[in-house]
């Protein structure tokens, strides 16, 4: 219960601050609002969606039934399940803004990777109409998939620093310019990010791109610390695994692109509120050298 109160207070404090600024930039609606206003506040609805990704429930409907039966005192203005799902699309801007607000700090040590977000089984690609024109076929080391790619940059504490969603056929290396905005220090990636041109562009922005080598590439001298951190690049793969299996950002039951985005954003928010994230134990010695555990 303390975690629920803490989550709600964090979201509610942000929403009150954000809404006052957001309202000043909204265009006035001369025709008035269509339909009744939602009974539940934005903070309450955001809290329930994020709480679902922390709960371990596999479907939102089952979780919402649990909320109706057991958390009615905490959410006294609960609406029906169908009404709640209908209003979920209104939470895109608040969720996106809140995720940007709580994202991790840039520390000078970053890891970049992408993960596939399947929206349907490969056998049902031709029958999928929900994401027609949006999702694309892509290929990873695990094989072909149909959907999107989530590109992430994290720091050594396991916190998400930057994120981007693209169709599944977008190459990882092409997203470095966008993802690295505001970044500095060393950026570690896999062999999919090997590009002399991109490395040069990042270097001009104060970022050193460090990747592994493909077969038959010439070996290069590398500081011991960089070599150790490059071997710790699996940290971001652990983050991707937790996003899919704990925060449940991937499933094939979506009925609209809007709710797909809401599910993705709320899963990322739930991960950022995770008390214990995958992290590297890095210690700064008096000699100013870094030691990675």
According to the model, what pLDDT value does residue 37 have? 60
Q: What's the rounded Cα separation, in Å, for the pair 99 and 93?
A: 10
Average pLDDT (242-256) is 92
What angle, rounded to 10 degrees, do the helices at 42-55 and 257-272 form? Answer: 70
Q: Which residue has the tokens 């039934």?
A: 65
Same domain, 144 and 205: yes
Domain that holds residue 76: 2-101
Same domain, 50 and 178: no
Same domain, 88 and 121: no
Same domain, 115 and 222: yes
Closest Cα to residue 221, out of 210, 235, 232, 231?
Answer: 210
β-bridge partners, 186: 109, 208
Same domain, 90 and 27: yes
DSSP 275-287: SS-----EEE-TT
Give the torsion through C-alpha atoms of 251, 278, 179, 42, to 10 deg: 60
Is residue 111 situated within a structural domain? yes
Same domain, 95 and 130: no
User: Where does the pLDDT of residue 65 fall: very low under 50, low under 70, confident under 90, or very high at 90 and above?
Assistant: very high
**Percent residues over pLDDT 90 in the chain:** 70
According to the model, what pLDDT value does residue 53 have? 95
Question: Who's near 93: CB < 8 A, 6+ residues apart?
Answer: 22
**Domain boundary residue, one of 101, 126, 153:** 101
User: Where does the pLDDT of residue 293 fall: very low under 50, low under 70, confident under 90, or very high at 90 and above?
Assistant: very low
**Domain boundary residue, one of 68, 101, 134:** 101
Is residue 211 situated within a structural domain? yes
CA distances from 275 to 159, 188, 279 (A): 11, 25, 12
Give the 3-state DSSP-derived string for 73-123, with helices as H, strands as E and coil as C: CCCCCCCCHHHHHHHHHHHHHHHHHHHHHHCCCCCCEEEEEEEEEECCCHH
Is residue 262 situated within a structural domain? no
Same domain, 96 and 189: no
Q: Is 194 exposed, middle or buried (0-12, 13-18, 19+ CB in 10 A)?
A: middle
Same domain, 140 and 184: yes
**Percent residues over pLDDT 70 in the chain:** 91
* Domain total in the chain: 2
Is residue 261 situated within a structural domain? no
Is pLDDT above 60 for 153?
A: yes
Closest Cα to residue 205, out of 227, 188, 221, 183?
Answer: 183
Is pLDDT above 80 for 17?
A: yes
Is residue 281 situated within a structural domain? no
Same domain, 116 and 179: yes
Q: What are phi and psi of 220, to 5 degrees?
A: -125, 145
Same domain, 84 and 109: no
The residue ranking higher by pLDDT, 143 or 262, is 262
Is residue 216 situated within a structural domain? yes
Is pLDDT above 50 for 267?
A: yes
Is residue 33 situated within a structural domain? yes
**Domain boundary residue, one of 101, 126, 156:** 101
The helix (H) or strand (E) run that includes residue 200 is helix 196-204
Quote the Cα angle for 10-13-14, to 5°: 85
Q: Is 69 exposed, middle or buried (0-12, 13-18, 19+ CB in 10 A)?
A: exposed
Is pLDDT above 80 for 29?
A: no
Is residue 266 situated within a structural domain? no
Same domain, 8 and 55: yes
Contacts 24+ apart (CB under 8 A), 238-243: 238/158, 238/278, 239/152, 239/154, 239/158, 239/160, 239/271, 239/277, 239/278, 240/113, 240/115, 240/150, 240/152, 242/271, 242/274, 242/278, 243/115, 243/150, 243/267, 243/268, 243/271
Same domain, 128 and 247: yes
Q: What is the domain-level CATH number for residue 162? A: 3.30.420
Q: What's the rounded Cα separation, in Å, for the pair 93 and 228?
A: 39
User: Where does the pLDDT of residue 216 fall: very low under 50, low under 70, confident under 90, or very high at 90 and above?
Assistant: confident
Question: Who's near 292: CB < 8 A, 6+ residues apart?
Answer: 225, 228, 229, 232, 280, 281, 282
**Worst-scoring range by mean pLDDT, 32-41, 77-86, 135-144, 241-250?**
32-41
Average pLDDT, the chain: 89
Is pLDDT above 90 for 282?
A: no
């Amino acid at each position: 219960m303390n975690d629920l109160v803490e989550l709600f207070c964090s979201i509610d404090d942000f929403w009150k601050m954000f809404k006052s600024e957001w309202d000043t930039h909204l265009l006035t609606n001369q025709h008035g609002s269509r339909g009744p206003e939602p009974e539940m506040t934005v903070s309450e609805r955001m809290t329930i969606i994020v709480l679902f990704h922390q709960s371990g429930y596999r479907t939102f409907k089952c979780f919402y039934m649990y909320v109706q039966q057991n958390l009615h005192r905490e959410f006294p203005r609960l609406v029906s399940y169908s009404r709640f799902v209908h209003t979920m699309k209104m939470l895109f801007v608040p969720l996106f803004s809140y995720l940007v607000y709580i994202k991790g700090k840039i520390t000078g040590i970053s890891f970049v990777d992408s993960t596939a977000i399947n929206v349907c089984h490969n056998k049902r690609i031709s029958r999928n109409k929900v994401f027609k024109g949006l999702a694309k076929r892509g290929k990873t080391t695990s094989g072909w998939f149909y959907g999107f790619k989530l590109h992430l940059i994290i720091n050594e504490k396991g916190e998400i620093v930057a994120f981007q969603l693209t169709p599944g056929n977008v190459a990882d290396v092409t997203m470095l310019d966008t993802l690295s905005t505001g970044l500095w220090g060393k950026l570690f990636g896999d062999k999919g990010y090997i590009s002399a041109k991109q490395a040069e562009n990042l270097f001009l922005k104060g970022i050193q791109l460090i990747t592994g080598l493909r077969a038959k590439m010439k070996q290069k001298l590398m500081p011991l610390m960089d070599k150790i951190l490059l071997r710790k690049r699996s940290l971001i793969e652990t983050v991707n695994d937790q996003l899919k299996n704990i925060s449940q950002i991937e499933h094939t039951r979506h009925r609209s692109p809007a709710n797909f985005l809401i599910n993705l954003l709320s899963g990322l928010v739930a991960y950022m509120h995770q008390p214990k994230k995958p992290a590297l134990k890095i210690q700064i010695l008096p000699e100013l050298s870094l030691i990675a555990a």
